[in-house]
Structure 1
């Protein structure tokens, strides 16, 4: 049975967790899942690409599409069937990034959380397939953030994007977003502190979170293909720690350390 079922056009509809990749972690209500490709005999021998099933899982995250999880007998004995395969419910992909595997080559990693798991919050949303707009329950896990931290950074820059320099003026004033360089929450565990936050416009925030933009040594802003976009704007009293930029480059932009 293949590891990821689905397509890059419609997203992933199911994954199999059965011990095929040494980097996998199964915690029951949440899974740290390794993408497909470059694996021979449970050893990673080549870099994975964001194509095929990996791209399908990324699309499922982007669109908020649930993914069926099927556990096989080769997985964690405490969570897996003794023989064959078992359907274990719906999960949602909450984030993904690229990093080095235990064997060295780069892999794509996906965090999936079970719908309805303890500690999640329930929000009612309209079902777009229902013309009467009846409401259904949607389960999401949320991280509690300190809004004062991001607001301090945004105020310091007056809402001006540190990447492109744009200021989005609205009737309520300048609009910008606080972007955490090293993502909050497990397994990234970035701190919710001003030395881990940038003031970005919405476009650059999304591109940065997805690894399409990153900050190179020397505070140079680059695109995912290495093109130099300019220099990061930094104001007195605000310094982002280089270790957070290095983590983002390696885990989200797929740039090897020292490259």
Structure 2
């Protein structure tokens, strides 16, 4: 299997990597895995190596990359600590895979129901949030402006922001929350990480501060997570393409 994963066209930094290796670009999807790795490093001192690519050049569509992820999307994790090396694609699956290194359960849950909550909100954003906000960005940047498409994805993105606001505000439970999953006010987890990297870009998605006043608990949640040292590192210069 390792011979199938790596070929003569595979960059040396990928092919020769030991242990965990991350192939990424600092997009919202790339930042999800970057954040969890940095959080795990702060708590447990885990180590990994990184290859930064530029998806605007379609590097992720080349054969060497498609051997690791046939879907041709970043990020990809390759775990070289096992034999044969094990590649992991899809950000939510990658976050869940990395929880194997979270020995004390800092970013996940052992309780059956809390874990289910975590999965529900992680999958909610993966399937119902990121596609809308991602398409909104695509059509806003497109050379040919399609007002119907922009308006549709703008409304749907605002709708899922509203779902997150309901959850964080405690509108139907009477108990506001700090985080998406967990008992009481919740606990910072992969559910938050998997959602935050997109939602934080609400301004770039075209929402004004005035419009975001409709989602005060969500805005507070965005600001709170932004202050975490590991988060700052994960979206900072370390992962900028040179």
Instruction: Point out which structure has higher relative CO (alpha carbons under 8 A, 6+ apart).
Output: 2
| Larger Rg belongs to | 1
Q: Taking structure 1 as the reference length, what is the TM-score of the superposition? A: 0.28
